[in-house]
Structure 1
Amino acid sequence: IALGSRLMGMSLYELDRLNHDEVFWESFIEQFRSLHHHWLSFGVMATLHRFFTEQKVTSRYLNDANGERSITDLFHITELLQQASEVVQGQQALIHHLEQCITSDASGEESRQQRLESDADLVQVVTVHKSKGLQYPIVMLPYLDYVRPVKSSDLPIEYHHTDGELRLTFTPEADELKQADFERLAEDVRKIYVAMTRAVCAQWVGIEDPKGTKENPEPELNSAGHALVGHCGGSVLTQYKDMKEVFTVAEPKEEVKAYKPSEDLAPWDARRVEDLGIEPWWIASYSSIQYGAKSEPVFPQSTEAEKAIDEQISDDDTEQSESSASGKALKLMHRLPRGSFMGTFLHGLIEWAAEQRFETTEGQRLLGFSAAVADDDTRLDTLYSRCRKRNLAEFALGLSDWLKDFLSTPFDLSTLTQKSEHSLRLMDLTPKHIAVELEFMFAANQVNTMRMDELVRRHTWQGKERPMASFQALQGMFKGFIDLVANIDGQYFVIDWKSNFLGSNDEDYHADALQEALLKKRYDLQYVLYLVALHRHLKERIPNYSYDEHVGGAIYFFLRGYENPETQGLVMDKPPKALIEALDQLFAGEQEVDHV
């Protein structure tokens, strides 16, 4: 949708080329990835200005009708986003802020409008206050006789005493109200002076006689338009008519009748939209997959008793065991608040650590996780800053120590890689061996989610019970972000961070509990889809690529349980090659994959 917008200015030929020329498509992916990093480094305004320059937005818009206005609006929006970026945190928050501004009723406020010099030729509606210091060829003052007298209910009442002092009263007397209204009239006269001195050539004044009664045919003149000229015989207009050197009176046309629509006219029938043959097309992700009833075990011979799984999947809803519920959580990771916001916070913290740089006193330059481990001061300052913004200041020092310990801990991968004493320390991963928040997107051609899910359940975790995916037809693109892709000893691994709360003690993060949480949340489907994306990527990049040789599998870190001596909070799996290839074919539109 974005590539087809006016802002990009792409022709129909170029848009069609995106569907057939992968190199052309990836050039745009690289361009927007570069803009993304530019935003992180220099801010939203610099990024948008760079985008306008690269896409020649200004020159293209100037060739269009009303192009000057469009360009001005774009740069004005850029300035507003830059101002908002100083208040809201993060790119997604700024995008959400822009969406709110677009849909909000306040989007028409003057602070969000910008005028052009060419607007001088347009009719402008301004208040008397705003017109001060400006001039216009012709000025129209339609309500010169408007008045709002001061009332006793307009509390508090301000007026000047005879001694010149400003006074304030909440119980005004009649003479105090009269004085306050006199001062209001004086202020109205001053404003009328401003209004009537804005015109260069001519001005039009709308005024009518004050309405009197039988008892008082000549009422008191309370408006500035009336009081300035007075009245003669109960008429103010007579006074204006007599000032022929100043005013020319235009009498109203009393014979003009208001427009009334003909009763014979009937509304036309609404046009009906015929079937245009447009197929549904959308961008799906793992989180957009819906789940229905729990599945039956794929393999009936499995006799392992399993608990029922809730149909709805949510974060941190696993009940604590009786032993852990009664015990007091002492360790930091078990005392952290529960909920998705905590997971987002920990994700951001690890992502920050992966991008650090530090030079030791010996002159050694460290990059990535190792720099975050070595630079205690920067790590602690960052934690204090981030925690204060989220009311987590009491955890800042503990989280700094946790992050250092977590990145330094050797994690046993031998059960996954089948290599004896094979361990991983995250701090040993250098930036050239990892990709943080790796984004992917590939085509989805009429993918039946129930068929996709059935394949995953059959080939993972011995077909154990888990929530089943509801029917959806994925047509368009499938996208996602992988927390970390790491090259470990020549094999590529999908790594994900999970903050699920499974209990208040390390013992609660045993193998069965981790497996149950993984299946209940359907993380199995998540990492399989991530491995399909990785498989497709490596297949195009590595000569003589082999899934069995180059892909190591998926490693899920349950962060709260990393100190469990048996599991270290790890869930690891490498789905069979047949499953990955079957799903690859399924997304390519090949429905006949029953042989796996």
Structure 2
Amino acid sequence: MQALAQPSDMALLRQALTLSWFALDGQALHKLLSDEVQLGSWLNRFQDYHLLWQKNGFMAMMLRLLSQENVRVHIAKTQNAERQITNLHHLLELIQQASLDDHLGIHKTIAWLRTEITAENAGDEQQLRLESDADAVKIVTMHRSKGLEYPIVFCPYLWYRRNTLASEKHLITCHAQGEMIADLGSDQFELHRKIAIQEELAEDLRILYVALTRAKYRCYLPWVNERSEKKPNQSAFAYLLSGEKAFADMSFAEQQASLKQLSNDYPASFSYQLIDKDNTLQGSYQVSKAEQDLSAHQQKRYLYSTWQMSSYTALSYLSLHDAPELPLDKAEETSDPTHQGTQQEPLALAKGAHTGNVLHDLLENIAFSKLALREDISERRDNTCQRYGLKVEQPEIINELLYQAVTTPLNLHDTEFTLANLDEKSCLKEMPFYLMLADFSTAEINFLLQDSPTYKALSEKQMQGYLTGFIDLIFVYQGRYYVLDYKSNALPDYHPETLIHAMREHNYGLQYWIYSVVLHIYLQKRLPNYQFDKHFGGVRYLFLRGMQANQAMSGVFSDLPDQTRLNELVAILTAS
């Protein structure tokens, strides 16, 4: 999946080709890796699968790969092939369901899978499936068994009849004079009851016949003489066993004699055995244990650990202790009361996570230059809306909103500084990161960022482990590197003070300081002669609904983190 997510990465492609899926032995693999033409062909195929994943989703891509690469055929030649294929399809279903439920993109799907692999507790849907149920015990109703055949059949409850018609007081349905009638309490109610009971018995006999004829070799039929003090057993089974005398009217001894006689008369097809009520089970699936006094184990060690895999979202929850109640979805926040009555922005879209997911997906997967040229994106747009469940009466609004976003200048003094003018090779979209955390307290971050107008203090917590996430966009413009994040929040207006309020309300300030740390460390490791004041451009938060191409920096929050404070934050988080 990593190779499919990053099809241009040769190292990942080589690792993927070592899988038994592709049936390449050592010699064939060495020959392939030494042949640039063959390797290029595989690279193109993986790029096609990557595009299919982006366009039609995970399952469509994987089914195409399994078919075109004959993966099932190759797996069939290995040991436990049936088990492997069953597990593979089960895993694909789980990943597809997760990607739909959580609206996961390519990289976030892989991140979800990593998390699930390391998770200690698996849900019922993740339990191993049987590769075949041919040897399994099948429990079916008599109605469902019609037309089927089984080697051995057990019919454990043929002696039972519910007989609710005998006590029915309000409605009886039966056939009378060739018609189906429903009696709601006529003078003939009792007569119709008797007819209905006989019809029910006839239907029970038909179903009984179905049950008795499902066995290929043997059918086991337990008989229990269940009856009341005044009424004998009235089941279809008792009716079937009756001869000159009703079987249910016989005494227990007479019933045994009748069954033994059937065994004697038809030894090739009928066998009878009395099950003694004192019989005990021979063997058990669970070893019996002597009764003993039980006591709970006493905890002997401290299990709490500050180590964890965390993210900006998890950290931001620590700031909600003193915040007003906010919707869980950041795109569904209520308007600030001070701005009530403000006219809604012209490019209005429904609030909610679906809108944000659609806009992020389109900005991630469509070139900014195409959006600026107003090229036709209707197919991609409509498919994306369908994937995320977003219904828009005028989908062209999305086109216009994206056009405004990529053509709005991101600097008051440079009208050429737009997303549309960026070189695609200078953009890194949805950049994943894992930042190793030292042992630190959130109180240290609170102290360091206390003067930041967009930062909201976190409740105190000791942390260490890893911080992970995805940055919407890292790009370089005129030699400077920037952090950029898209926001679909619907605000009453998009004045600078409103943007600052929104940034603080959702603690986006914490987010951009974390992203700045990631970019700062990344450039230190990857950019020769990196200098912060020369190469670090700052952050841009694009509130997409408020951007207007004819007004520079409209709907845009920008900041250049202080170098000294940024280095101190790096020291807190990484102890370096």
TM-score normalised by the chain length of structure 2? 0.70
**TM-aligned CA deviation for residue 478 of structure 1:** 0.2
Amino acid at match of 2:359: L
Amino acid at match of 1:448: S
Partner of 1:90: 103
**TM-aligned CA deviation for residue 515 of structure 1:** 2.8
Partner of 1:189: 205
Partner of 2:238: 226
Partner of 1:444: 437
SS at match of 2:436: strand
Partner of 1:275: 301
SS at match of 1:443: strand
Change (3 A) 1:170 1:353: farther
Q: Distance in 1 between matches of 2:82 and 2:518?
A: 44
Answer yes or no: is the 8 Å Cα contact 1:532–1:580 preserved in 2.
Answer: yes
Deviation by residue 1:446-483 (Cα, 9 ceiling, x = unmatched): 1322212322335xx4xx59531222222221012212
Q: Distance in 2 between matches of 1:91 and 1:203?
A: 52
Q: Distance in 2 between matches of 1:560 and 1:75?
A: 41
SS at match of 2:395: helix
Report the more deviating stretch, 540-549 or 394-403. 394-403
Residue 559 of structure 1, aligned match among 544, 547, 550: 544
Partner of 1:540: 525
1:285 and 2:311 matched: yes
Partner of 1:40: 54
Change (3 A) 1:584 1:54: farther
1:211-360 aligned at under 5 Å gives the runs 211=227, 213=229, 216=230, 219=231, 222-230=234-242, 231=246, 234-235=250-251, 236-244=255-263, 245=266, 246-256=269-279, 265-275=291-301, 279-290=305-316, 310=323, 315=330, 316-317=333-334, 319-321=336-338, 324-327=339-342, 329=343, 331-333=345-347, 336-338=349-351, 340-341=352-353, 345-346=355-356, 348-356=358-366
Deviation by residue 1:276-312 (Cα, 9 ceiling, x = unmatched): 88844321111212577999xxxxxxxxxxxxx9566
**Structure 1: any 5+ residue segments left out of the alignment?**
3-7, 9-31, 296-308, 357-367, 415-420, 591-596
Deviation by residue 1:123-182 (Cα, 9 ceiling, x = unmatched): 43332234334434432222121112252749865433343x444555572232322322
Answer yes or no: is the 8 Å Cα contact 2:409–2:415 preserved in 1.
Answer: no
1:531 and 2:516 matched: yes
**TM-aligned CA deviation for residue 267 of structure 1:** 2.7
Q: Distance in 2 between matches of 1:224 and 1:45?
A: 50
Deviation by residue 1:62-102 (Cα, 9 ceiling, x = unmatched): 878xx9557525424535776x6998683389989x99xx8
Deviation by residue 1:325-353 (Cα, 9 ceiling, x = unmatched): 345x15424x5555x53xx5145325414
Partner of 1:209: 225
Residue 549 of structure 1, aligned match among 529, 534, 539: 534
1:584 and 2:570 matched: yes
**TM-aligned CA deviation for residue 320 of structure 1:** 4.2
The share of aligned pairs that are identical, in percent, is 26
**TM-aligned CA deviation for residue 393 of structure 1:** 3.1
Deviation by residue 1:237-276 (Cα, 9 ceiling, x = unmatched): 44322212254332232445899x9999323434445438
Partner of 2:381: 382
Q: Distance in 2 between matches of 1:406 and 1:511?
A: 17
Report the more deviating stretch, 262-271 or 396-405. 262-271
Amino acid at match of 1:352: L
Residue 199 of structure 1, aligned match among 209, 215, 225: 215
Amino acid at match of 1:538: L
Q: Distance in 1 between matches of 2:474 and 2:520?
A: 12
Residue 191 of structure 2, aligned match among 175, 181, 194: 175
For the aligned residue pairs, the C-alpha RMSD in angstroms reads 4.8
Deviation by residue 1:392-433 (Cα, 9 ceiling, x = unmatched): 53453444333323322334254xxxxxx3642222224322
Amino acid at match of 2:104: Q
SS at match of 1:412: coil
Amino acid at match of 1:126: V
Partner of 2:29: none
**TM-aligned CA deviation for residue 228 of structure 1:** 0.4
Deviation by residue 1:346-372 (Cα, 9 ceiling, x = unmatched): 45325414523xxxxxxxxxxx12212
SS at match of 1:241: helix
SS at match of 2:449: helix
Partner of 2:466: 477
Answer yes or no: is the 8 Å Cα contact 1:387–1:395 preserved in 2.
Answer: no
Change (3 A) 1:533 1:575: same
SS at match of 1:143: coil
Amino acid at match of 2:295: D
Answer yes or no: is the 8 Å Cα contact 2:407–2:418 preserved in 1.
Answer: yes
**TM-aligned CA deviation for residue 554 of structure 1:** 0.2
Partner of 1:304: none
Change (3 A) 1:113 1:543: closer
Partner of 2:37: none
Residue 561 of structure 2, aligned match among 567, 570, 575: 575
Q: Distance in 1 between matches of 2:47 and 2:302?
A: 35
Q: Distance in 2 between matches of 1:263 and 1:530?
A: 58
Q: Distance in 2 between matches of 1:382 and 1:400?
A: 8
Partner of 2:8: none
Change (3 A) 1:471 1:313: farther
Q: Distance in 2 between matches of 1:176 and 1:588?
A: 85
Deviation by residue 1:41-61 (Cα, 9 ceiling, x = unmatched): 4543366676999999x9799
Partner of 1:361: none
Q: Distance in 2 between matches of 1:113 and 1:194?
A: 33
Answer yes or no: is the 8 Å Cα contact 1:354–1:369 preserved in 2.
Answer: no
**Structure 2: any 5+ residue segments left out of the alignment?**
3-15, 17-45
Report the more deviating stretch, 127-136 or 272-281. 272-281
Partner of 1:406: 405
1:10-159 aligned at under 5 Å gives the runs 39-41=53-55, 43-45=57-59, 72-76=86-90, 78=92, 90-91=103-104, 116-117=131-132, 119-151=133-165, 153=168, 157-159=172-174
Q: Distance in 1 between matches of 2:441 and 2:554?
A: 36
Change (3 A) 1:115 1:223: farther
SS at match of 2:457: strand
Change (3 A) 1:425 1:156: farther
1:371-520 aligned at under 5 Å gives the runs 371-375=370-374, 377-379=376-378, 382=381, 386=385, 393-394=392-393, 396-414=395-413, 421=414, 423-457=416-450, 461=452, 467-503=456-492, 508-520=493-505
**TM-aligned CA deviation for residue 207 of structure 1:** 0.8
Partner of 1:161: 176
Change (3 A) 1:582 1:381: closer
Deviation by residue 1:214-255 (Cα, 9 ceiling, x = unmatched): xx5xx4653111000213562444432221225433223244
SS at match of 2:484: strand
Q: Distance in 2 between matches of 1:390 and 1:70?
A: 34
Amino acid at match of 1:250: Q
